[in-house]
Chain A
Amino acid sequence: MANEGTTNVIFRVRRYDPDRDAAPYYQDFTVPVPPGMVVLEGLWYIKEHMDATLSWRVSCRMGVCGSCGMLINGSPTLACNTQIHDVARDGLLMVAPLPNFDIIRDLVPDLGPLFDRHSHLMPFIVREDHDEMQEPSDQYWQSADDLLEYLQFTYCIKCGCCMAACPTFATDPTYSGPQPLAQAYRYMIDSRDGAFEERKAILAGEAGPWRCHYAGECSAVCPKGVDPARAIQLMKRELVLDYLRLGKLRRRKPAGVLPPEKKRGRREGIPEHPPFTVEGAG
């Protein structure tokens, strides 16, 4: 039953079946769209009522998993938190897979190159005291200001929207792209990390931040407000300061475990957790 305010919107979806098609093409579907309906629900409507072969990637449906990134009316974004009436123009909605990634099928991009680049730039904390890192004797000491240096960049959900929007990544396959570089900075600036020299060696080459010239599109399209462009510019600043022997990172010792005098007991008024419902948990 149609709700009040329901209007028909034409979904112009880019289709590609690797077993059948030589090249992608567009196919139109007319979808009744009530107020508040998101693009992902429109795609489900098509799959359930019109064409069961339409393919895309989806998991959480609430902007957390980063699976449903796609190009919606020319802008890379998540289908699950984009309302159709906000972006449709003259009753038309163009839906295509994220550009700059190969298409596997219909709206499914191959995000493999993103994850390869991401892992190449060491997205983890590295310390010399390997045994301590594997089995920490206590929590590492980090101030609230230290945390704020990288907290914004931890919200990345690896949806690939920033890579799809980056004009440098569009022409230069050797460039790492905004997502891996933002995550490299997130770990580089983390006060618990001790691998600045190793990271610097990787970032000095073509994989590094120097091909970024601040088109800023990665930050504009990021559905989580991560601002990769800011991370990349701050990374450049640290690398330039290091080159001038003015940087703090080369002299920084990774944060140690919390000293006893800094330890605080449990704050008053915080209740104990309820009993575990699974045997052996905790």
Chain B
Amino acid sequence: MPEVKRYPNRLGIKGWFGGGRWGVERYLYTLHRLTGLGLLTYFLMHIVVTSRRALGAESWTAAMATVGAPIFKVGEYLVFVAFAFHAFNGLRLVLVELGVLTGRPEEPVYPYESSLDVQRPFMVVMMIAAAVVMLLGGYEFFFMAH
């Protein structure tokens, strides 16, 4: 049989962001991955910066002067925002992936209701909790004296 020519059509990273008609859980999925990568990047940078202490006082002082700039303060707050989202969404995912929030299988009768509908109220609560923690963190970061 002759070989059929095919055109590759895998979405790749574009598939994380979808075509604009996706559900909210898909965007949470993407945000969870992006914040996870962001937190990992922060940890690596944190190790690099704190390792400067081993190079002597002068190197350490220079590093502290650099990361003390306002742009790093904003960046630090973004890390906190990523942490708050990742933690609360992660809690939801743990409960979903252990089958706690998915509901039992049921015969599909139109209009279909899926496990997405079962876990959605908890998802809303977790996102509100994350937003509250982000706001409290922002107040602490920018308005309270250190």
Structural contact, A170 and B11, CB atoms closer than 8 A? yes
Structural contact, B105 and A234, CB atoms closer than 8 A? yes
> A187 at the A/B interface (Cβ < 8 Å)?
no
> B75 at the A/B interface (Cβ < 8 Å)?
no
Which residue of A is nearest B26, CB measured?
Answer: A215
Partner pick for B98 among A74, A217, A240, CB 8 A cutoff = A240
Structural contact, B26 and A167, CB atoms closer than 8 A? yes
Bin the interface of chain A by size. 35 or more
Structural contact, B93 and A214, CB atoms closer than 8 A? yes
Structural contact, B114 and A229, CB atoms closer than 8 A? yes
Task: Please name all residues of chain A whose beta carbon is closer than 8 Å to the beta carbon of B6 when the two chains form the complex.
Answer: 18, 102-104, 110
> B139 at the A/B interface (Cβ < 8 Å)?
no
Which residue of B is nearest A173, CB measured?
Answer: B10
Structural contact, B15 and A100, CB atoms closer than 8 A? yes
B78-129 residues at the A interface, CB under 8 angstroms: 93, 96-99, 102-110, 112, 114-116
Structural contact, A213 and B102, CB atoms closer than 8 A? no
> B20 at the A/B interface (Cβ < 8 Å)?
yes
Structural contact, A219 and B4, CB atoms closer than 8 A? no
Max chain B Cβ within 10 angstroms of own Cβ: one of A19, A165, A215, A234: A215
20 A-B interface contacts by CB (under 8 A): A18-B4, A23-B7, A101-B9, A104-B6, A110-B4, A148-B104, A170-B11, A170-B15, A171-B11, A212-B97, A213-B32, A213-B33, A213-B93, A214-B96, A215-B28, A217-B26, A229-B115, A233-B97, A237-B97, A237-B98
Measured CB to CB, the closest approach of chain A to B107, in angstroms, equals: 6
Structural contact, B25 and A216, CB atoms closer than 8 A? yes
Given contacts A98-B9, A109-B9, A170-B10, 18 further A-B contacts (CB under 8 A): A110-B6, A152-B107, A165-B22, A166-B15, A167-B11, A173-B10, A213-B32, A214-B93, A215-B25, A215-B28, A215-B29, A217-B18, A217-B22, A226-B108, A233-B96, A233-B99, A234-B102, A236-B97
Structural contact, B114 and A227, CB atoms closer than 8 A? yes
> B30 at the A/B interface (Cβ < 8 Å)?
yes
Max chain B Cβ within 10 angstroms of own Cβ: one of A148, A229, A230: A230
Measured CB to CB, the closest approach of chain A to B131, in angstroms, equals: 20
Task: Please name all residues of chain B whose beta carbon is closer than 8 Å to the beta carbon of A32 when the two chains form the complex.
Answer: none
Contact code string A195-215 (vs B, CB < 8 Å = 1, else 0) = 000000000000000001111
In the assembly, what is the distance between CA of A226 and CA of B15, in Å? 22
Measured CB to CB, the closest approach of chain A to B18, in angstroms, equals: 7
Task: Please name all residues of chain B whose beta carbon is closer than 8 Å to the beta carbon of A98 when the two chains form the complex.
Answer: 9
Structural contact, A170 and B14, CB atoms closer than 8 A? yes
> B19 at the A/B interface (Cβ < 8 Å)?
yes
Structural contact, B108 and A216, CB atoms closer than 8 A? no
Which residue of A is nearest B100, CB measured?
Answer: A237
Which residue of B is nearest A110, CB measured?
Answer: B6
> A136 at the A/B interface (Cβ < 8 Å)?
no
Task: Please name all residues of chain B whose beta carbon is closer than 8 Å to the beta carbon of A213 when the two chains form the complex.
Answer: 29, 32-33, 93, 97
In the assembly, what is the distance between CA of A279 and CA of B98, in Å? 54
Partner pick for B11 among A16, A100, A216, CB 8 A cutoff = A100
Max chain B Cβ within 10 angstroms of own Cβ: one of A104, A216, A222, A225: A216
Structural contact, A100 and B10, CB atoms closer than 8 A? yes
